[in-house]
């Protein structure tokens, strides 16, 4: 009896792919909708971000520009918040929400939030291990299919090594989900406290941030299912 039902995992993977497309579409639609809603305060996203950082007591953050839409990020190594073309200079509540979220990460870093520090430490390792793990896992699968039984032990260990390395990337996404939600919650709280948007507009900010948060959840589900698929393949190969 198989350890894992490979067919079920494949079906779940397709389901996650479909949900991923739906969630990405929902994020873009939500962002586009609230990008057309100007903040009642008239404040721009960058101005809002600076106000949030002052309120949180975070100093030394510089601002940069990055091309694209929803490509905004916080760079802790340089203390820089890079805002995208659709956010920088905009006074929409969507832009303010996105900029505030990046401020949330700057606050996490400044306050030494443990889970953020873990994510920051895992990021470079996960980036490398996911690539190498994928190559090793593929090599192990090919060895088991195209070579005789004398190479079965080798293919098993190569595949196991790939699974171990890929597991690190799953850990990264597992940590990233609460980090992203925490950053959004911090952002929303300060937006409300400072009145950076109209009272009735905070709900729109929340919808934008929640839509973005769901993309990280689906990404976690995707990498987790890939890991399960590899484990299932290893189980099937070891019983041949």
The residues annotated as belonging to the active site are: 102
Distance CA 61, CA 110 (A): 10
**Do 9 and 221 form a contact (C-beta atoms < 8 A)?**
no
List C-alpha distances in Å: 38 to 8, 13, 95, 207: 46, 39, 9, 15
**Residue 95, Cβ neighbours under 10 Å: how many?**
28
Backbone φ/ψ region at 165: left (φ over 0), alpha (ψ -120 to 50), beta: alpha
**Do 211 and 27 form a contact (C-beta atoms < 8 A)?**
yes
List Cβ neighbours of 173 (8 Å cut-off, separation of 6 or more): 216, 219, 220, 223, 224
**Do 97 and 208 form a contact (C-beta atoms < 8 A)?**
yes
**Do 169 and 226 form a contact (C-beta atoms < 8 A)?**
no
Q: How many angstroms from the chain centroid is the CA of residue 211?
A: 12
């Amino acid at each position: 009896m198989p350890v894992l039902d490979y067919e079920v995992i494949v079906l779940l993977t397709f389901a996650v792919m479909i949900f991923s497309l739906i969630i990405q579409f929902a994020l873009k639609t939500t962002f586009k909708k609230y990008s057309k809603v100007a903040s009642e305060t008239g404040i721009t996203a960058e101005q809002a971000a600076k106000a949030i950082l002052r309120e949180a007591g975070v100093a030394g953050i510089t601002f940069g520009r990055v091309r694209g839409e929803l490509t905004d990020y916080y760079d802790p190594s340089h203390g820089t918040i890079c805002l995208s073309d659709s956010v920088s200079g905009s006074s929409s509540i969507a832009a303010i929400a996105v900029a505030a979220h990046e401020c949330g990460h700057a606050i996490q870093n400044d306050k030494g939030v443990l889970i953020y520090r873990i994510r920051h430490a895992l990021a470079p390792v996960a980036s490398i291990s996911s690539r190498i793990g994928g190559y090793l896992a593929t090599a192990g699968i090919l060895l088991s299919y195209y070579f005789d039984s004398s190479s079965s032990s080798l293919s098993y260990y190569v595949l196991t090594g790939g699974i171990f390395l890929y597991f690190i990337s799953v850990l990264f996404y597992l940590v990233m989900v609460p980090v992203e939600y925490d950053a959004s919650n911090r952002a929303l709280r300060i937006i409300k406290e400072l009145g950076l948007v109209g009272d009735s507009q905070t709900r729109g900010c929340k919808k934008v941030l929640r839509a973005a948060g769901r993309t990280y959840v689906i990404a976690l589900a995707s990498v987790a299912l890939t890991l399960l698929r590899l484990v299932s393949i290893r189980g099937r190969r070891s019983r041949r």
